[in-house]
Structure 1
Amino acid sequence: MILKKISLNNVGPYEGINIFNFNTDKENNTILIGGKNGSGKTTFLNSVRLALYGPLAYGFKTTSNEYLKKISSLLNSNALKRQRSEIKEYEDEFNIRIDFSMIENFTRIHASIIRKWIVEESSIKEKVSVIKDGVEVSEVEKDQFFTHLRTSFPPSLLELCFFDGEEISHLTDEDNLSHYLKVLSSKIFNLDLFQNLEQDLGNYLNQSSKSKEQTELENEKEEYESKLNEKIQQLQQLSKLVEDTEADLEANKQRYQDVKKDFSLHGGIAYEERTRIQNEINEIEGQRKHLNEKLKEFIALELPFFIAYPRLYELVEQLKNEEDFHVSNILKDKIENLPVNQIIEKLGLPGNQKQEEQLKDSLVTHLAKTDDVKIIHNASKTEAQQVYGLNSQTSLNNLQEVFNLIEENKNLLLKTQDLKKKLKDNEESPEFADMIQSMEEYNRIITDLEDKLENYKDQRHSASDEVEDLNNKYEKVKQQLHKIHKTKSSFEESQKIIQISQKFQQQQLRNKIKDIEYFSSKMFKDLIRKEEFINHITIDPKNFSLSILDHNNEFINKDILSAGEKELLALSIIWGTIMSSKKELPLILDTLLGRLDNEHKHSIVTKLLPKFGVQNIVLSTDSEIDPKLYTSLQKTTANEYTLNYDALNRKTNIEKHFFNLRTEKVEQ
């Protein structure tokens, strides 16, 4: 993979559109980016990871809420404020675009990945586009593209292409360098594919060859066989009971029909007729019970008022008289207060006081009752209405309805007596009585047999369900056992594959390690200032431990190396591994020269970087590279940038020069 360009639009401190051009060639393979701490170098590195791998850059498998929270914290704060403000003159866009080339199906393609984030009021959505050779691909092709990208250039390999001064210093420890070399070799030579295959096969074998599981399944199979046989026998017995009961029931039904036929032929009342008569008697008894309830209710509630009707009548008259008396008194008061003189004048009649008194007396005589009434009850209007209602109910019509109920009850009693006599006369015949008793006995037997048959059928249905359930479980266990037995046949083949894979990796490592030893020795000799100090670097293919041999092939104690020389050794091993892989890798070197002296810095700039890779992106502070070193480095640089953070406006500005050391570079 070769990076071509990355565009950051409102990402981190990069407000607006900011472009880094990474185009390099064989002679100019270095991109130099300068910046003080806090100027945006970390955001730049994270943007490269994010553009290529999205959620995988943060360890997430999908575009989850946690991933989008990370994105939210990465977006430029000034643009977010504008985006979320109530008044918007324009809408800011948030995206990263990375352009690169890579080999796909033995052909170099040029691709672009655009990750765009749409900011809404309370959420963020991500949209990803892929452009291959100038054409945007479909969703299916996009999935295929990312699958190929993760396979050929996985995120773990990209991380191995990022170096900073702290990591290189950490690798000066022999154990750390050996571990790093082991991991780098696995990734860069694609041996991790075989290791993953071995792990998958190992898991497969562990899952398919568990003797304990097989033993448990075999015991379970025997247990299900025993229970299944027991339930099948029970089901057969229940089926036999159902058949026998059905035959017995049919026989008793036939006997009952025979007796019933004889009973009808000899003049007895048929059983159905007896049942009908008995039902009719029961219905009449029910009607009589209802009539008796009504009569009892009448006796309890209304009869006393019929008996005391004269007193009730007197009460009604007294209440009416008291009511008239009260009304008359009210009328007298109103007549007394009438303006009679005005009425006479309106009529055009001559009037005097005597005539007025006569008129009032006449009105009282005609409108009001003048007899005195003794007030006894002084009942309210509601109480009086209740007494009037009771009086209206205590009438001859209501009494006649009661007489009708008594007569109806009498008639029903006579009808019941006739029906009971008819049954009794029929049953008193000894011959008929025996027949009736036989029919009743057969009917009882039939009822018992029907209940028993229903119970047997329910038991048979439950037993059938249990047999089906046990059979399903039994078949499932059989399939699992069959799978284990079948898997065992592939057990040896899987082990052979693992053994072949391990042998292949060992052979590949031996061959590659020889190349790493050669390239690393050559580079370390060029970088170190001590002439004739070393002859060869050796690497153990089993544990990747390093040894340095002098010209007499004697081991050199690595502890005598200075800190700077140990860094040169680590860089030589890394360069030798990359050269052995023959892969196109973009190498990003952050503050690589910070801990080295000027002589070692000069060696790296003039001898290592020109050969380190097809593309080197060097991130540096202003204290790492002085004018003299810059002059040497400038010979192989393709583009130079300086990141200046504007604290007042809280944004990073990109300038196309390296701090105050300027040179003319042509953008490609």
Structure 2
Amino acid sequence: MILKKIILNNIGPYEGKNIFDLHTDDRLNTVLIGGKNGSGKTTFLNSVRLALYGPLAYKKKTVTPDYLKKIKSLMNANAMKQQNGSLKEYENEFYIQIDFTIIESFQRINVSIIRSWTIGPNIKENVSVIKEGVEVSEVEKDQFFSHLRTTFPPSLLELCFFDGEEISHLTDEDNLSQYLKVLSSKIFNLDLFQNLEQDMYAYLDQSSTSKEQTRLEQEEKEYEEALNQSIRDLQEVRGQIENTESEITVSKQRYNKVKNDFSLHGGIAYEERTRLQEKINEIEVNRKHINEKIKEFIANELPFFIAFPQLYKLVVQLKNEEEFHVSNILKNKIDKLPVNQIMGELGVQSTNNTEEKLKESLVTHLAKTEEVNIIHNASKTEAQQVYNLLSQTSINRLNVIVSLIQENQKLLSDVQSNKKKLKDNEESPEFADMIQSMEEYTRSISELEERLNSLKNQENELRNEIEIVNKKFEKIKQQLYKIRKTKSSFDESQKIIQISQRFQQHQLRNKIKDIEYFSSKMFKELIRKKEFIHHILIDPKTFQLSILDHNSERIDKDILSAGEKELLALSIIWGTIMSSKKELPLILDTLLGRLDNEHKHSIVTNLLPKFGVQNIVLSTDSEIDANLYKDLKYTIANVYTLNYDSSNRKTEIERHFFNLENEKVTK
């Protein structure tokens, strides 16, 4: 969007018809408007907002009494007095007209919006939209404003308005990062995707809350708490396992020290003891494995051996049911056989009696005719599991367990025998203390290992418990998901949100690189310290800024002066606008008020000529002096000064900048 002209007719301090020519081009891209405080600069800014967006300029969706009250306060006081004297004569005296160009359907078109108000018992607003000199219909007008709010929303227009206070506010790093985040969202049209996501989330939340949903949500909360508690218990057990393993390591180290001392003094007697001890340890390990197998058998298989008759009956019943189902299928197939055709193909004379006898014979030989009481009605997979269980519950399996028990008894006898040999070998008093220490350490290690095994079993139990609870938790979440899935497009909405988020991330990463390049380039041109910086980095997630020197080391931004921070903020804004490649009218109000002369000169000569395709600069006489005006005038397309006449309570527009060029404007 490029502004071409704005006409204020009896608006604020502007009495009568007042025209601002805002035409600019690539070389003369600046319109300079001077004025002291209270001369009408704020009215000019508000008029731009109001002309384009009407009620939206005041955050109102439609024309409301409150909106019309604000409009009434904006009307010129002198013209209002005339209205009271002759209503009909001045019926359409209050209006704002804004002319601009936009790209529509890949073509640049000229558009005028005329927003006028009539005075009567109630204020009425009328809006006209003129495209290429032709006023559009009401339907086309609604379509135009809808398109305008999408392509150039009020929030983006606000980001094109800059004043000295705002720029000073942006010198704070957090404020600048937040501003850059918002500006990037608007200027790269990412806010359209964000609005879409908000609508999608709102859509996904539109589900009715039933008693079933309330119950499931309560269960979901309970299972989540139970799951979190089990996870905390598991973490505690893991900590105990680590401590126990550490104690085992320490005990083994101490045992090995005593063992080495015993070896030095024990000679052959110790070698024999070591061999016996290793044999005992080996037997204990074997016994431990055997005991585990026996325990596993008792826990998992013994109940089926005890209930073997019932298991066998179950298998017989399942087979009978299966045979009964197959027989029924065969009966149905036999009943539907074309017997007459078959007998004819065989050359056999067919009668109704012979056909029936043939079917009965086939049923007798192929199908089971006895009735079976259906009890289980198991599936083929379930029946096969029972058959496998019966085949495993055999006498051979019992013989294996009996042999394990016998082997365990034999190993126990061997352990006792070897321990007796060790005891006999301990009669030598000089080794008694060492042997006692080693036995204590061995006993301690054994107890610790048992404790470790117990903790590991506890860990496995907790893992299983977590798995079971998590399955229930996930099941409830799925049920809630189905309840909340009120429309078939639920999944598609989720996918759209994910794609939108990935697209935004991808776009931001690419655009941030452009912003870094352009911002770095401009900041180096504006700042007086040459070779001070090499590059500006921007985090695409947090939008935090980092300044790198020529050694790629970060520069502390706190060392920058207030003026340099302001130049940094302006460079970032310029870099963002350049990256967007959008035509934006930029309105700069008292931009240079806080800067020193050198930085002012740098902005006027380096930044403003490149800042945008159209810069509207609002300034006081103290902000831009004669010398600065000389630097600026080579980029000025039009210049105005607003003089407020206190006696007549109106603003006069003059075609100069505080008499630096004395040419009156024609009204």
Conservation of the 8 A alpha-carbon contact between 1:209 and 1:488: no
What is the CA distance between 1:208 and its match in structure 2?
3.3
Task: Compute the displacement of 1:123 (Å).
Answer: 1.4
CA deviation profile, 1:115-171 (whole Å, cap 9, x unmatched)? 110001x31100100000000001001001101110000000000000000000000
Counterpart in 2 of 1:21? 21
> 1:523-563: CA deviations, max 9, x gaps?
00000010100000000000100000000000000000000
In structure 1, what is the Cα distance between the partners aligned to 2:86 and 2:94? 19
1:214 Cα deviation (Å)? 4.0
TM-score (norm 2): 0.58
Distance 2:143 2:208 in 1: 35
Aligned to 1:103, the other structure's residue is in SS state strand
Partner of 2:85: 85
- Listed as ranges, the matches of 1:617-656 within 5 Å are 617-656=616-655
Residues 654 and 663, structure 2, Cα contact 8 Å, conserved in 1? no
Q: How does 1:602-613 map to 2 (within 5 A)?
A: 602-613=601-612
1:594–1:77 Cα change, 3 Å: same
Distance 1:90 1:510, change over 3 A: closer
Does 2:202 match 1:167? Answer: no
For the residues of structure 2 that align with 1:518 and 1:208, how far apart are their CA atoms? 47
Fraction of identical pairs, as percent = 80
- In the TM superposition, what is the alpha-carbon distance from 1:210 to its structure 2 partner? 5.9
C-alpha displacement at 1:601, in angstroms? 0.2
Question: Do 1:82 and 1:91's aligned partners in 2 also have CA atoms closer than 8 Å?
Answer: no
Give the 3-state SS of the residue equivalent to 2:101 in structure 1: strand
| CA displacement, residues 446-491 of structure 1 (integer Å, 9 cap, x when unaligned) | xxxxxxxxxxxxxxxxxxxxxxxxxxxxxxxxxxx99957636533
Cα displacement string for residues 153-190 of structure 1 (whole angstroms, at most 9, x for unaligned residues): 00000000000000000000000000000000000000
Superposed displacement of residue 197, structure 1: 1.1
User: Residue by residue, what CA displacement relative to the aligned partner does 1:24-70 show, whole Å, maximum 9, x if unpaired?
Assistant: 00000000000000000000000000000000001111111110000
Q: Partner of 1:114 in structure 2?
A: 114
Q: CA separation of 1:209/1:94 partners in 2, compared to 1, >3 Å: closer, same or farther? A: same
Distance 2:76 2:23 in 1: 27
Contact 1:548 1:556 in 2 (8 A): yes
Q: Tell me what 2:453 maps to.
A: none
Contact 2:40 2:642 in 1 (8 A): yes
Q: 1:17 to 1:212 in 2, by over 3 A?
A: farther
> Which one-letter code corresponds to 1:31 in the other structure?
V
- Counterparts of 2:59 and 2:50, CA distance in 1: 11
| Residue type at the aligned position of 2:583 | E
Asked whether the 8 Å contact 1:537–1:548 carries over to 2, the reply is yes
Q: Deviations over 1:178-220 (max 9, x none)?
A: 00000000000000011111111112222238686745899xx
Q: Which amino acid aligns with 1:14?
A: Y
| Aligned-partner Cα distance in 1 for 2:211–2:542 | 36
Q: Rate the CA distance shift 1:659–1:519 in 2: closer, same or farther, 3 A.
A: same
User: Is the Cα–Cα contact under 8 Å of residues 641 and 653 in structure 2 kept in the other structure?
Assistant: yes
Alignment of 1:186-585 (within 5 A): 186-208=185-207, 214=213, 484=483, 487=486, 489-585=488-584
CA drift of 1:500 comes to: 1.2
Q: Residue 146 of structure 1 aligns with which residue?
A: 145
Q: Which residue of 2 aligns with 1:50?
A: 50
Instruction: Quote the residue 1:396 is aligned against.
Output: none
Gaps of 5+ in 2: 218-479
Q: Secondary structure at the match of 1:16?
A: strand
Match for residue 75 of structure 1? 75
Aligned-pair CA distance for 1:495: 1.8
Change (3 A) 1:212 1:657: farther
Structure-2 residue corresponding to 1:6: 6
Corresponding residue of 1:615 = 614
Specify whether residues 627 and 213 from structure 1 end up closer, same or farther in structure 2 by C-alpha distance, changes over 3 A only: farther
Residue 251 of structure 1 corresponds to which residue in structure 2?
none
Decide whether the 8 Å contact of 1:549 with 1:556 is kept in 2.
Answer: yes
- Name the CA shift for 1:485/1:26 in 2 (closer, same or farther; >3 Å): closer
Q: Output the CA distance in 1 between the equivalents of 2:87 and 2:494.
A: 68
1:532, 1:216 → 2: CA distance? 67
Find the counterpart in structure 1 of residue 62 from structure 2. 62
Contact 2:92 2:118 in 1 (8 A): no
More moved, 486-495 vs 174-183: 486-495
Deviations 1:590-618, CA, capped at 9 Å, x for gaps: 00000000000000000000000000000
- Whether the 8 Å CA contact 1:35–1:642 is kept in 2: the answer is yes
Cα deviation code 1:326-365 (max 9, x no counterpart): xxxxxxxxxxxxxxxxxxxxxxxxxxxxxxxxxxxxxxxx
Would you say how many aligned residue pairs link Structure 1 and Structure 2? 405
Q: Secondary structure at the match of 2:168?
A: helix
Q: What is the rounded CA distance, in whole Å, between the counterparts of 2:554 and 2:113 in structure 1?
A: 50
- Is the 1:640–1:665 contact (alpha carbons within 8 Å) kept by the matching residues of 2? no
Partners of 1:572 and 1:485 in 2: how far apart? 48
What residue identity is the alignment partner of 1:528?
I
Q: Which amino acid aligns with 2:550?
A: H
CA distance in 2, matches of 1:170, 1:636: 28
**Distance 1:208-1:565 versus aligned 2 partners, 3 A rule:** same
1:149 and 1:187 mapped to 2: Cα distance? 14
Residues 30 and 617 in structure 1, CA contact (< 8 A), matched pair in contact too: yes
Supply the distance in 1 between the matched residues of 2:600 and 2:590 (Cα, whole angstroms). Answer: 11
Q: Which residue of 1 aligns with 2:103?
A: 103
1:220-252 CA-partner distances (Å, limit 9, x unpaired): xxxxxxxxxxxxxxxxxxxxxxxxxxxxxxxxx
Which AA in structure 2 matches 1:595? R
Going from structure 1 to structure 2, the CA distance change for 1:90 and 1:571 (only over 3 Å counts) comes to: closer
Question: Cα deviations across residues 646-667 of structure 1 (Å, max 9, x unaligned)?
Answer: 0000000000111121077999
Which amino acid is 2:573 matched to?
I
Task: Provide the C-alpha distance between the structure 1 equivalents of 2:655 and 2:635, rounded to a whole number of angstroms.
Answer: 16
* Maintained 8 Å contact 2:207/2:485: no
Q: Determine the structure 2 residue equivalent to 1:367.
A: none
Q: Is the 8 A contact 1:9 1:94 kept in 2?
A: yes
Question: Relative to 1, partners in 2 of residues 1:572 and 1:663: Cα closer, same or farther, differing over 3 Å?
Answer: farther
Q: Secondary structure at the match of 1:50?
A: helix
Change beyond 3 A, Cα 1:536–1:663: farther
Measured at CA, do residues 136 and 557 of structure 1 come closer, stay the same or move farther in structure 2, by a change above 3 Å? Answer: same
Q: For residues 164 and 486 of structure 1, do their structure 2 counterparts lie closer, same or farther at Cα, with a shift above 3 Å needed?
A: closer
Distance 1:24 1:483, change over 3 A: same
Q: Structure 1 residues 79 and 515, CA, compared in 2 at 3 Å: closer, same or farther? A: same
Kept after mapping to 2: 8 A contact 1:564/1:600 = yes
Within 2, Cα distance between the matches of 1:482 and 1:538? 42
Q: State the alpha-carbon separation in 2 of the partners of residues 89 and 113 from structure 1.
A: 23
Structure 1 residue 87, shift from structure 2 partner: 9.0
Kindly provide the amino acid, as one letter, of the partner of residue 591 in structure 1.
T
Separation (CA, whole Å) in 2 of partners of 1:489 and 1:209: 15
Q: Is the CA contact (8 Å cut-off) linking 1:605 and 1:632 kept in structure 2? A: yes
The whole-number CA distance in structure 1 between the counterparts of 2:211 and 2:145 is 42
Distance 1:153 1:191 in 2: 13
Q: Secondary structure at the match of 1:60?
A: coil
SS in structure 2 opposite 1:208?
coil
C-alpha separation between the residues in 1 aligned to 2:214 and 2:87?
73
For the 8 Å contact 1:13–1:650, the answer to whether it is kept is yes
| Alignment pair present for 1:587 and 2:595 | no
The amino acid that maps onto 2:34 is G
1:543 and 1:83, CA in 2 relative to 1: closer, same or farther beyond 3 A?
same
Cα separation, 1, equivalents of 2:563 and 2:211: 57
